Amino acid sequence: MSRREKLTWLAAGLALVGTLAVLALYFFGSVTPPRQLSARENTETGSRPLGRLRPLSTNGPLRVSTANPRYFADRDGKVVYLVGSHTWTNLQDGGGKYPPPPFDYAAYLNFLDKLNHNFFRLWMWEQPRWSMETADDNYWIDPLPFARTGPGMAADGQPKFDLTKFNEAYFERMRERTLLAKQRGFYVSVMLFNGWSVRKGVPGFRLNNPWRSHPFNVANNVNGINGDPDGDNSGEESHRLIVPAVTALQEAYVRKVIDTVGDLDNVLYEISNESEGPSWQWQYHIINFIKQYQNTRPLQHPVGMTFEWPGGENKDLFASPADWISPNGSVRERPVADGRKVILADTDHFCGKCGNRAWVWKSFLMGENPIFMDGYDGSAYGQGATTFRVDAPVWASLRANMGYTLAYASRVKLADMRPRPDLASTGYALADARAGGEYIVYLARGGSAVVDLSGTPGALEVEWLNPSSGYVVKGEDATGAGVRAFSPPFTGDAVLYLRSRATR
């Protein structure tokens, strides 16, 4: 029997004893079952809000931490944990008319700031009109990277693209929004390409064909560039190394992006959102191209590769030259991060708009950096605007708890923390299990947790976070150098934080 199994059996026994005791007292009239405390009661009983612990400025460029390669490190070598919500129209405007209504970027940054987040993906779309996510012809994206000069009209009814000329308004907006994010303390992943822009459909998403309006569709540019050499009215070939003229244009665009934001310290790059499985060689090429071009500049920024869909495999991400990845998998259970890559665990590549606060804590304690594909205010056209409620309790709690994880990541010495599911009966622990160490344990089902503190002698401070309220309460000190049981002073899921009083 493994150490974790022994701890689990011990925790189950303690929980059973505790439950029987509470039930006995309840039925004999001595106590009532525990309940969640209100904010007023929390204050009166000595609990307090967790509070905000987020740097208000960035200190990049980020690089993979040598002390703990599950995370990035800043300019001074301090480990940086990334967490946050992202939404589809935070760079380009999108909507059901042309021009699409403007996105309120200032309100979006305020939204993230209040939640204590520190990261988001800056989305881009390659096509100006039509989407696999809606059959509506009135789906528009603006601005785009290439200038629309004509002569002649493209399939979307606007002037054709000249692929030798850039639309400066697009790059000015990219720089402005990245700079505003920097000034508010947010790191930003600048998305370069989008797999959802180049194909006519996949199972479950055949509502419209964005390739019809794509700049690399030969009908839409004045340069004779054809990103669909097999003529099937779908442009997956443009995300492969099949058409050298297309690759050369993409390289010129990537250089322009780096020239635009590469001097800012809060930048990361993402090659593409969910390009199909066979795109992996093209993505490797673009990663290496970015790194080579960055070597000629003062700052080098992390480059990321996110899951290829459909037909992708996580092994392509781990084998890539990328600094960070966003794999596919179950939102419920995945292996702990082993440090081969920095993992930004994105619900977008698990199941879209999904997850809950339990997922946030499990991801954090597995050594990942969790990020949420957020429907936000529901304004993104074709993205479930009529069904997504920004204030739904599950999303509000998920976002809030991402901020709580950042607060704890900022308090602990994250460089020394490792995923240690074997140390807690609950199976979720991030710990520095040495003398002077600290532990964060998640109790997804409440009840009790048994924690192996054998490696940390002496007294440890005990703190409980109630994830449903954001309030913390101090517990009585615990003694290390052994196996100890802990029970939260409230019902429901709980977070246990243990910190040695002996500092190293």
Instruction: Give the residue from 323, 349, 379 where a domain finishes.
Output: 323
Instruction: Give the residue from 323, 355, 388 where a domain finishes.
Output: 323
- Name the token pair of 63: 């690089």
Residue 405 in any domain: the answer is no
> What pLDDT is attached to residue 54?
76
Give 495's strand partners. Answer: 442, 465
Domain that holds residue 434: 3-33+420-500
Is the peptide bond prior to 99 cis by the omega test (within 30 degrees of 0)? yes
Provide the domain count of the chain. 2
- 17 with 70, same domain? no
- 318 with 446, same domain? no
Residue 302 is part of a domain; what is its CATH number?
3.20.20
Q: Which long-range CB contacts under 8 A does 310-318 form with residues at least 24 apart?
A: 310/202, 310/203, 310/276, 310/277, 311/276, 311/277, 311/278, 312/274, 312/276, 312/277, 312/280, 313/277, 316/277, 316/280, 317/341
- 20 with 90, same domain? no
Residue 297 in any domain: the answer is yes
- 83 with 228, same domain? yes
In this model, does residue 146 exceed pLDDT 60? yes
- Name the token pair of 225: 């560039």
> What pLDDT is attached to residue 6?
60
For the chain, give the percent of residues with pLDDT over 90: 80
Over residues 325-350, the mean pLDDT reads 92
Q: Given CA atoms 239, 241, 242, 247 in this order, what sign does their dihedral have?
A: positive
Tokens 């200190």 sit at which residue? 59
- 244 with 319, same domain? yes
Nearest to 197 by CA among 280, 97, 101, 92: 92
> Does an H or E element contain 254, and which?
helix 244-261
For residue 43, which amino acid is it? Answer: T
Give 270's strand partners. Answer: 191, 304
pLDDT digits (tens, 9 = 90+) for 238-250: 999 999 999 999 9
More confident residue, 316 or 380: 316
- The model carries a pTM of 0.91
- 203 with 313, same domain? yes
- Name the token pair of 157: 């009814």
> What pLDDT is attached to residue 386?
56
**DSSP code, position 126:** S
pLDDT digits (tens, 9 = 90+) for 59-91: 999 999 999 999 999 999 999 999 999 999 999
Residue 315 in any domain: the answer is yes
Q: Given CA atoms 111, 324, 71, 179 in this order, what sign does their dihedral have?
A: negative
**Separation of first and last alpha carbons in the chain:** 33
| Calpha distance 428→303 (Å, rounded) | 29
- 14 with 67, same domain? no
- 121 with 208, same domain? yes
Residue 339 in any domain: the answer is no
- 207 with 146, same domain? yes
Distance (Å) of CA 33 to CA 43, 473, 494 = 21, 19, 17
- 162 with 244, same domain? yes
Give the SS3 label for residue 438: strand
In this model, does residue 141 exceed pLDDT 80? yes
Residue 243 in any domain: the answer is yes
Instruction: Give the residue from 301, 323, 345 where a domain finishes.
Output: 323
> What pLDDT is attached to residue 388?
74
> What pLDDT is attached to residue 209?
96
Interacting residues of 49 by C-beta distance below 8 A, sequence separation 6+: 470, 471, 472
> What pLDDT is attached to residue 10?
59
Residue 101 in any domain: the answer is yes
pLDDT digits (tens, 9 = 90+) for 160-192: 999 999 999 999 999 999 999 999 999 999 999
29 pLDDT tier (thresholds 50, 70, 90)? very low
Residue 374 in any domain: the answer is no
> What pLDDT is attached to residue 204?
76
- 129 with 256, same domain? yes
| Calpha distance 435→456 (Å, rounded) | 4
For the chain, give the percent of residues with pLDDT over 70: 89
- 243 with 188, same domain? yes
Say how many C-beta atoms besides its own lie within 10 A of residue 147's C-beta.
19
Residue 366 in any domain: the answer is no
Mean pLDDT over the full length of the chain: 90
> Does an H or E element contain 431, and which?
strand 429-431
